[in-house]
Each structure stands twice: as C-alpha cells, then as structure tokens.
Amino acid sequence: MSIVEVRDVTRDYQQGQVIVKALRGTDLQVEEGEFTVLMGPSGCGKTTLLNLVGGLDRPTSGQVVVDGRDLSTLNGHALSKLRLERVGFVFQAYNLIPVLTAYENAEFVLMMRGMPNKERRERVMHVLEEVGLADMAHRRPGEMSGGQQQRVAVARAIAGEPAIVLADEPTANLDSKTSRSLIELMRHLNEDRGVTFVFATHDDMVRQHGKRIVSMLDGCVVGEEIQA
C-alpha cells in the first residue's frame, strides 16, 4: 500500500527577480513499511520534497497524496490535523521544547490529540523505553547530549503511531558514533514495528543503513536502488 504518492511536482521560489526551481517534475512513491533515503547534494530539493510530503509547504504544480489524502484539497486546519495524526517529524535541530522534560516533549502530540492521561503515560513510557531513555524521562533538553535529544525527538515522532516519519538531516549535528546508533535505532523501529521512514540526507552512513535509496539532483529524482 502506498503511503506517499508525489506526481509530477514542481516547486518554484521567488528570490528577488529570480525564480528558483527547487523541484522540477518530481515523482516519488513510498510504500508502507519502507525505509527510504533521499540522497543528494545540498540544494538538490531533498528538504523541499520532504516539506511537501509533510504538508509544511505546497507545490507550485503537481499532486502530493499522503495516506490516501490529496494534500491540495486540504485547508490549513485539515493539513494541521493530518500532520498531528498521521505524520511524525524528526528535524536536524531536534526542535524540542526547552522548558519541557523528555517525557513532556514525547507526550506533547498525544496531549494535543486529547488522549486520556493513563493511556498517554503508558504510551510515552513505552516509546522512551524503546529509544533507551526511560531513565531520563524527567530531564530537560539542556541536561541531555545531542544524541539523547534526537532520541527524544524520535520518541515524540513515533509516540502517536503515525503513518510515516519524515527525518530531515537527523544526523547532521551528531558525531559518527551517535549517528550510527540513532540510525540503527530507527532501522530497528522500522523492522520491528513497521514504522515507515523517509530521510533527507547527504550522510553516507545513513545511506548504508537505507533499504531504498532515491538519488536526487537539481530538483529531480535521477535514480534509485534497493539494498538489503
């Protein structure tokens, strides 16, 4: 079953008098349970494509369908609801709320959904256990390393059991050992829980752990490969 269908999508940006073509007739399909890595140099359109799939931006032309919903038919409220309920995000800069603990950051999406407190607590403690941070549940981001903060971000992303998790350069601010540990964690979540992941990265270590590698250049998908 397809979770994502991107059909002939373009995205243009106005920079002064110049129109920048970030995406040029891009097609992408992601199946449920995939571990897909978008690879390419900076400026090739990886992040732009991820933002369109996540409903954070809209295409200039073409169609983006996520979890069976054509995003072009959704207003702002409906897009927010889709992101809240069906899409998880892991960002390069962690994007944790600094005044909240690891537990509270992971809990935030579930609170927004109105999940009852008992169920919320069970869910959050389970995902913190999965990412190896159950003993740090009451620490704030400033009391944690970069790798630990990114694990909290992963816990937050999967706590709501989304249809897909989008990870934009998740290892960019981490050392190689921490990066490998984080990607192995996400691969484990993919294999054991069936979480669908799509990464945007130029990190070759992430590529080595990917199952499907989609290569991008100059706003286009230029090739793909499947690896074990």
Torsion angle (degrees, nearest 10) of CA 108, 110, 112, 115? -140
pLDDT in tens, the chain (228 residues): 899 999 999 999 998 999 999 999 999 999 999 999 999 999 999 999 999 999 999 999 999 999 999 999 999 999 999 999 999 999 988 899 999 999 999 999 999 999 999 999 999 999 999 999 999 999 999 999 999 999 999 999 999 999 999 999 999 989 999 999 999 999 999 999 999 999 999 899 899 999 999 999 999 999 999 987
pLDDT reported for residue 1: 81
Q: How many CA atoms lie within 13 A of 27 on its CB side?
A: 5
115: helix, strand or coil: coil
The CATH number assigned to the domain holding 216 equals 3.40.50.300
Q: Is the pTM of this model over 0.85?
A: yes
How many domains in the chain? 1
CA 134 from chain centre, in angstroms, equals 22
Domain span at residue 33 reads 2-226
Joined together, the tokens standing for residue 179 give: 């990066």
Do residues 214 and 37 touch, judged by C-beta distance below 8 A?
Answer: yes
pLDDT reported for residue 145: 95
| CA 199-50-216 angle, 5° bins | 70
CA 189 from chain centre, in angstroms, equals 13
Q: Rg (Cα) of the chain, in Å, rounded?
A: 17
